[in-house]
Amino acid sequence: MKMLLLACLTCSSIGVQVVGPLLLSAFVDDAQSDETLNVLFVIAFAFIAISFLQMLLGAIEAYVSADIAMSSTNELREDLTRRLLGLGGRFYDENTTGYLIERVDGDIGLLANFFSEFTVQIVGNSLFLIGIIVVVLSMNLRLGLFVGLFDLIAILVLRRMRSLGVAEWKEARQTNANLFGFIEERLLGLEDIGTNGGRAFVLGQLSSILNRLLHVTRRARRLSNVTFIAISSLFVFGEALALFLSISEYRHHLISIGTVFLLEYYLQLVIVPINALVSQFQDFQAASASISRVEELRSLQSDVANGPGVVFGDDAPKVEFSQVTFGYDPTQPVLHDMTFSVPPGEVVGVLGPTGSGKTSLANLLVRLYDPQTGSVRIAGADIRQADLKQLRDYVGVVPQSVHIFRGTVRDNVTLFRKDHDDAVLIDVLQECGLRQWLERLPNGLDTVLDANDSGISAGEAQLLSIARTMIRNPRVVILDEVSSRLDPLTEESIQCAIARLLANRTAMIIAHRPRTIMHAHWIMLLDGGGIREFGKRADLQGDPSSAFSSVWRLNGGEIT
Ligand SMILES: Nc1ncnc2c1ncn2[C@@H]1O[C@H](COP(=O)(O)OP(=O)(O)OP(=O)(O)O)[C@@H](O)[C@H]1O
């Protein structure tokens, strides 16, 4: 519908632009003949009216085409974001957030600008040129043929130069994406960089990326300018030739002075659409680079393939790892031949030194990555057979660091889903020990929280994260060092919330400190990516020769 409206607007606008000069031509011829002043006034007013109409149509046309471009590219943005979210952890290891933002938003933003102009400029200006050819043809065959032939040559030259600069623009946008990635990463680490005297080094790196950006953009623009100059020169030459021809036709009395004026007027007008076409052509080169980069991103396949789907059931399931070997770099495994199982509804506490592979284990359970060998099973089914969405609804993760989104408390708990009653939300927040906090908030569930965590303490954020998982009601839960950075008092309330979250669920609690795994039925001690010890907590605790009992004793026997 909008496209139809745009097409009508474009055609009307072209018609008006072609008719305007005809009025001027008539004015010149009538002024030379014996026409009354009234006729000349009418023509002059008609020309002024048409000029206003032309501006009005141009403005509406630009609005409609921008509207179309934004809505269509927004769909593309959504599509890309959906695809990116479906890619496995390996993709996110290789690409920084800033880089992805530039690729999703920068490239598509450029395309939106391009398309909003493209429809109007390319289609409109081409139609305008055709209109001019038809009018000139109807007045003088030779001049009309000349203008038509010349346009054809121009189009052929344009086509030939089309691919010039695409690779260079692609590289320029890639460098721009790298710059965004760099800035994002450094902004996140601003505090560390400042306090550890890394500023000079970071500025040095920034300067080298900016130099690179300058170099590649200059090269791309230079190529575009060569195209621009070549095509502009061609048109200047054509204009001179057309003038020469029309003067010759006038001398032979084949056209009137009004027609010579008309041709002169058209030729000056023609420079505008031609310049617009050429500059659109330059933008087209940049846009082609963006299109091919967007295509590249769209065609990326996740290394974690979606499965056909399995039936997990409503009860807490058994979780099994069977001879699992995994490495982020497949040639360097960080988990070796892991075999263990957690019975339905029970909790395994995973302990181990830094880098021993605890988080990697959790990553495999939600299929951020797939193991190189062996299998992970939930309720007897290999999780590679599960639909990814189904799996991630079934397995909930409470991460170590909580991200608070700019949005209401309700949005932060439901993660923007709208299908939860307030009463249920309040119950969940109460279960997580956040009832008093909620009551203190000025607008209750509608209170807006800030993305930078202001207005919420680390402990409250952690409890909110537990509420987030609880409301989704997964059957398997992973808690990744949830209380490692909290003071003992806050940790106490977190432990209460965790106890509620674990009820009737199979769980994996990753911890550095034995106290964090007070709810565990099973203990797994990891070391260097392998299982050093695995067994019932009570058994290991009671066995003085077990590594776990030594760790426990070292920590003051906090486990009850
Ligand atoms: N995304 C990644 N890409 C490459 N290597 C990784 C990645 N994540 C972790 N590693 C490496 O895998 C090994 C295990 O890391 P993992 O995070 O699983 O250990 P962890 O026991 O959870 O450590 P921590 O207690 O410090 O969180 C480490 O050597 C780590 O450097």
ipTM over 0.95: yes
DSSP element (H, E) containing 378 = strand 373-378
Which residues lie across from 320 on neighbouring strands? 341, 377
> What one-character DSSP code corresponds to residue 122?
I
Q: Which atom of ligand 1 is nearest to the CA of 89?
A: 1
Examine residue 560 and state whether it is found in any structural domain, yes or no: no
Q: Output the CA 355–ligand 1 centroid distance in Å.
A: 5
pLDDT at site 489: 67
Asked if the model's pLDDT at residue 560 lies above 50, the reply is no
User: In this structure, which residue's CA is closest to atom 3 in ligand 1?
Assistant: 328
The finding on whether 356 has its CB within 6 A of some atom of ligand 1 is: yes
Share of the chain above pLDDT 90, in %: 18
Name the most confidently modeled range: 16-25, 291-300, 313-322. 313-322
Ligand 1 atom 9, closest CA? 360
- Give the total number of structural domains in the chain: 2
pLDDT tier for residue 373 given thresholds of 50, 70 and 90? very high
User: Does 113 reside within a domain?
Assistant: yes
291 shares its domain with 342:
no
If you measure from the C-alpha of residue 356 to the centroid of ligand 1, how many angstroms do you get, rounded to a whole number? 7
Cβ of 352 closer than 6 Å to ligand 1, yes or no, is yes
- Cα of 325 vs centre of ligand 1, distance in Å, is 14
**377 near 322, Cβ under 8 Å?**
yes
The residue nearest atom 16 of ligand 1, judged by CA position, is 357
Q: What is the identity of the amino acid at 118?
A: F
Residue 299 pLDDT: 83
pLDDT at 116: 65
Lowest mean pLDDT among 55-59, 282-286, 382-386: 282-286
- Edge to edge, the sheet with strand 381-382 lists 335-342, 319-326, 373-378, 381-382
Both 226 and 272 in one domain: the answer is: yes
pLDDT confidence bin for 558, thresholds 50/70/90:
very low
In a domain, 310, yes or no: no
Please indicate whether residue 285, judged by its CB atom, sits closer than 6 Å to ligand 1.
no
Predicted local distance difference test score (pLDDT) of residue 559? 41
Highest mean pLDDT (candidates 57-71, 121-135, 345-359): 345-359
CA 128 to chain centre: 37
* pLDDT tens, position by position, 375-422: 999 999 999 999 888 898 899 998 888 888 888 888 888 888 788 888
Banded pLDDT at 492 (limits 50, 70, 90): confident
Q: Which atom of ligand 1 is nearest to the CA of 529?
A: 14
Instruction: Judge whether 308 lies within some domain.
Output: no
Which pLDDT belongs to residue 211?
A: 93
Q: Is 360 in the pocket of ligand 1 (CB under 6 A)?
A: yes
Report residue 371's pLDDT band, with 50, 70 and 90 as the boundaries: very high
21: domain range? Answer: 2-298
Chain-wide mean pLDDT for the chain? 82
- pLDDT interval class at 117 (50, 70, 90): low
Decide if 290 is inside a domain.
yes
Distance 94 CA to ligand 1 centre (A): 15
Asked whether residue 293 falls in the same domain as residue 391, the answer is no
Q: Give distance in angstroms: CA of 86 to centre of ligand 1.
A: 22
| Distance (Å, whole) CA 550 – CA 540 | 10
pLDDT for residue 285 is more than 80: no
Residue 524's pLDDT is 93
CA of 486 to the centre of ligand 1 (A): 22
pLDDT for 152 = 77
Nearest ligand 1 atom to the CA of 360 is 18
Shortest-distance atom of ligand 1 to CA 329: 4
Ligand 1 centroid vs 354 CA: distance in angstroms?
8
Which range, of 51-55, 195-199, 441-445, averages the lowest pLDDT? Answer: 195-199
Burial of 542 (0-12, 13-18, 19+ CB in 10 A): exposed
Average pLDDT over residues 322-350: 92
Same domain assignment for residues 290 and 246 = yes
Final residue of a structural domain among 239, 268, 298: 298
Please give the distance, rounded to the nearest whole angstrom, from the Cα atom of residue 335 to the centre of ligand 1.
10
Same domain, 347 and 425: yes
**Residue of higher predicted confidence among 436 and 533:** 533
Say whether both 181 and 82 belong to one domain. yes
Poorest-confidence range of 46-60, 86-100, 425-439? 86-100
Indicate if ligand 1 lies below 6 Å from the C-beta of 334. Answer: yes
Task: Kindly give the distance from the C-alpha atom of residue 357 to the centroid of ligand 1, in angstroms, as a whole number.
Answer: 6
Cα–Cα distance measured from residue 480 to residue 357, given in angstroms and rounded to the nearest whole number: 12
Give the pLDDT score at 130. Answer: 84
Using most ligand atoms within 8 A of CB, pick from 356, 484, 513, 531 the residue to mutate for ligand 1: 356
Query: Residue 350: enclosing H or E segment and its boundaries?
Result: strand 347-351
| Nearest alpha carbon, ligand 1 atom 10 | 328
The Cα–Cα gap between 516 and 102 comes to 40
Least confident of 161-170, 219-228, 357-366: 161-170
The per-residue pLDDT for 100 is 78
Longest dimension (CA), the chain: 122
Residue nearest to atom 2 of ligand 1 (CA): 328
Give 408's strand partners: 448
Average pLDDT over residues 41-64: 88
How far, CA to CA in Å, does 372 sit from each of 27, 89, 328, 386? 82, 14, 10, 18
* 249 and 364 co-located in one domain: no
271 — pLDDT class (breaks 50, 70, 90) = low
261 and 171, same domain (yes or no): yes
In this structure, how many other beta carbons lie within 10 angstroms of the beta carbon of residue 129? 24
Q: Which of 235, 239, 41, 252 is nearest to 153 (CA)?
A: 235
383/374 Cα distance (integer angstroms): 12
- Residue range 72-99: mean pLDDT, rounded: 80
Start-to-end CA distance of the chain, whole Å, equals 70
Note whether 250 and 257 are within 8 A (CB). yes
Q: For ligand 1, atom 6, name the residue with the nearest CA.
A: 328
Task: State if residue 328 touches ligand 1 by the CB under 6 angstroms criterion.
Answer: yes
Task: Name every residue whose Cβ is closer than 8 Å to that of residue 39 and which is 6 or more positions away in sequence.
Answer: 30
Residue 313: inside a domain, yes or no?
no
Query: Span 86-108, mean pLDDT?
Result: 77
**Going by CA atoms, what residue is nearest to atom 29 of ligand 1?**
355
Confidence category of residue 186, pLDDT binned at 50, 70, 90: confident
Over residues 296-307, the pLDDT tens digits come to 888 887 788 888
Output the residue whose Cα is nearest ligand 1's atom 5. 328
CB of residue 357 inside a 6 A radius of ligand 1:
yes
CA 168 to ligand 1 center in whole angstroms: 38
* Structure tokens belonging to residue 337: 């031949």
Q: Is residue 309 part of a domain?
A: no
User: Looking at the domain assignment, is residue 311 inside a domain?
Assistant: no
Q: What is the CATH number of the domain that holds 330?
A: 3.40.50.300
Q: Which residues pair with 509 in a beta bridge?
A: 349, 479
β-pairing verdict for 476-480 and 506-511: parallel
Q: What is the CATH classification number for the domain harbouring 201?
A: 1.20.1560.10
What pLDDT band is residue 334 in, cutting at 50, 70 and 90? very high
Span from the CA of 60 to the centroid of ligand 1 (angstroms): 56
Is residue 183's pLDDT more than 70?
Answer: yes
Q: Please tell me whether residues 265 and 329 are part of one structural domain.
A: no
* Average confidence (pLDDT) over 533-559: 78
Q: Are residues 397 and 504 in the same domain?
A: yes
How far does residue 492's CA lie from ligand 1's centre (Å)? 28
Give distance in angstroms: CA of 145 to centre of ligand 1.
72
Instruction: Decide: helix, strand or coil at residue 140.
Output: coil
pLDDT at residue 471 is higher than 60: yes
Clarify whether residues 397 and 523 are in a common domain: yes
**Would you say the CB of residue 359 lies under 6 angstroms from ligand 1?**
yes
Same domain for 73 and 115?
yes
